[in-house]
Amino acid sequence: MISLRNRLALSYALFICVSVLVMGFIINRFAEKLFSAFVTENINTESREIADTIAEQWDPNTGSFDVISVEAMGMYFVHQGYIVSVVDIKGEIVWDARACDMQQCAMVINEIIDRMENEFGVGGSFQTNQYHLAYQDVPIGFLNIDTYGPFFYSKTESAFLSGLNNFLLVSGGIFIILSILLSVFLAAEISRPVLRASEAARRIACGELSARVSDRYGTRELRELSRSVNDLAAALENGERWQKQLTADIAHELRTPLTCLQGNMEAMIDGVWEPTAERLSSAYEEISRLNKLVEDLNRLSILEQKNLILHKTECDLTKLAGAAVERFRPAALEKGIEIKLLSPAVITVNADYDRLTQVFTNLISNALKYTDLGSITVTLSETQQYCEVSVADTGIGMEADELPHIFERFYRSDKSRNRNTGGAGIGLSIVQTIVNAHGGQIQAESRTGKGSVFMVRLPREVL
């Protein structure tokens, strides 16, 4: 299989070669056309000049041509490719190049025919053009000029045109060679980052998740390719780290209640403790917490599946939020915390009622756990396209570096809280998953000692 570098080099080289050949052909045809028009006009001009020169050889005193001068000039014109003959006004031949030197005329004619047909591929034949001769506007005869038609090149013109063609051929060849070298260089420059990205992807596939490639390229596509590979490696590396952390967190969350439960059971089995109702109730609570943790993990696993089915209906968001607030009002009053709802009369959204109930429940429950004084405010608002929900509290707040992690499983911003007071750290993960499934967004703002605000934006029409 041909490599990307060779394919690019061949493609560039082929394109450039074809372009050079086509351009050279066009330039050659165009130059020959212009040059042919120039030569044709030059032949016509020189023919008229020959007629004027022959007419000047008329002697008015004798009433005849100076034959010696006509012959000298006529032979000169023969060597230029013009076979001339002069006829006086009476129709008698004054001088004829063929009659004067038939051998010389034949040689010139054959030379012109060979040059035009063999060198330039221009077919034609000798044609006769007649010009009137006059002296002081008085007719004195006729001049017949035989020239190769439709046009012919002189030796000088032939040499010029051949030199031009050779120049185009040589310069085109040099340009093609340079272009091929440049194509190889460019192909190498383009393929090298791709090969590096491919090698990095292969190393990543083999488990070397720390593999990275440089993304300092001037070409946008190559830069984006390199960054994509690096982002993929970083995501996989974070995923592996997260998987290990998740395993450790689950083990930690399970170890504590199991250790406590095992110790209590062993103590009662060994007779150290009496199996009283209080001790059995404590063991039952630990079992319940374990069961709740497993249920939360199972619920989160179901929610994170791509085929999560949402039973969407037109929901009254104000009514839903009000029900959630009332559900937590007794607990808030018990802690001396004011909980209130700020909302227009009716806000409707196309969403899954039960899933949104989980969102409100988890957000308000989370705010209540981390707020000891002050208030919790649930605010609803709407735009033409979105419904917006915010749950603000005056609790302990969080540090800025904690915000990126609060939606991770088992993460608790307040490390001093245990599972009984701070939960297992899965609630916000469930909230984020439900909101994302609705095509919405969730974000948080917080300041230490000032409280936190969780903001949810849901589209009015969920896709």
Condensed to tens digits (0 to 9), the pLDDT of residues 50-100 reads: 888 888 888 888 888 888 888 888 888 888 888 888 998 888 888 888 888
Q: How far apart are CA 145 and CA 82, in angstroms?
A: 6
Q: Name which of 263, 250, 271, 303 is nearest 419 in CA terms.
A: 250
Q: Which residues of 313-340 are buried (b: 16+ CB within 10 A; e: fewer)?
A: eebebbebbbebbeebeeebeeeebebe
pLDDT band at 418 (very low <50, low <70, confident <90, very high): very low
Question: Which pLDDT score is estimated for 421?
Answer: 45
Give the pLDDT mean for 146-153.
Answer: 80
Q: Name which of 377, 362, 365, 343 is nearest 451 in CA terms.
A: 377
Give the pLDDT mean for 392-420.
Answer: 72
Residue 410: pLDDT over 70: no
Question: Which pLDDT score is estimated for 462?
Answer: 47
Higher pLDDT, 455 or 104: 455
Residue 420: pLDDT over 70: no
Q: Out of 45-59, 381-395, 416-430, which region has the weakest mean confidence (pLDDT)?
A: 416-430
Question: Which pLDDT score is estimated for 388?
Answer: 92
Q: How far apart are CA 377 and CA 178, in angstroms?
A: 73
Query: How far does CA 430 lie from the centroid of its chain?
Result: 37
Q: What is the pTM of this model?
A: 0.46
Q: Name which of 256, 329, 300, 326 is nearest 407 in CA terms.
A: 300
Question: Which pLDDT score is estimated for 242?
Answer: 66
Residue 378: pLDDT over 90: yes
* Token representation of residue 430: 């469930």
Strand order of the β-sheet with 386-393 is 338-342, 375-382, 386-393, 451-459, 441-447
Query: How far does CA 191 lie from the centroid of its chain?
Result: 16
DSSP strand pairing (312-316 vs 93-96): unpaired
- Mean of the per-residue pLDDT values of the chain: 81
Condensed to tens digits (0 to 9), the pLDDT of residues 16-27 reads: 888 888 888 888
Q: Out of 138-142, 289-293, 312-316, 332-336, which region has the weakest mean confidence (pLDDT)?
A: 289-293
Question: Which pLDDT score is estimated for 218?
Answer: 66
Q: How far apart are CA 442 and CA 446, in angstroms?
A: 14
Condensed to tens digits (0 to 9), the pLDDT of residues 164-202 reads: 888 888 888 888 888 888 888 877 777 777 778 788 888
Q: What are the residues whose beta carbons fall under 8 Å from the beta carbon of 304, sequence distance 6 or more?
A: 433
CB 322 within 8 A of CB 328: no
Query: How far does CA 339 lie from the centroid of its chain?
Result: 52
All structural domains of the chain: 4-170 (3.30.450), 220-302 (1.10.287.130), 307-459 (3.30.565.10)
Any idea which residue has 């040689």 for tokens?
Answer: 107
Burial class (CB in 10 A: 0-12, 13-18, 19+), 18: exposed
Higher pLDDT, 290 or 441: 441
Higher pLDDT, 293 or 434: 434
Condensed to tens digits (0 to 9), the pLDDT of residues 222-272 reads: 778 788 888 888 878 777 776 776 677 677 667 767 887 888 788 888 887
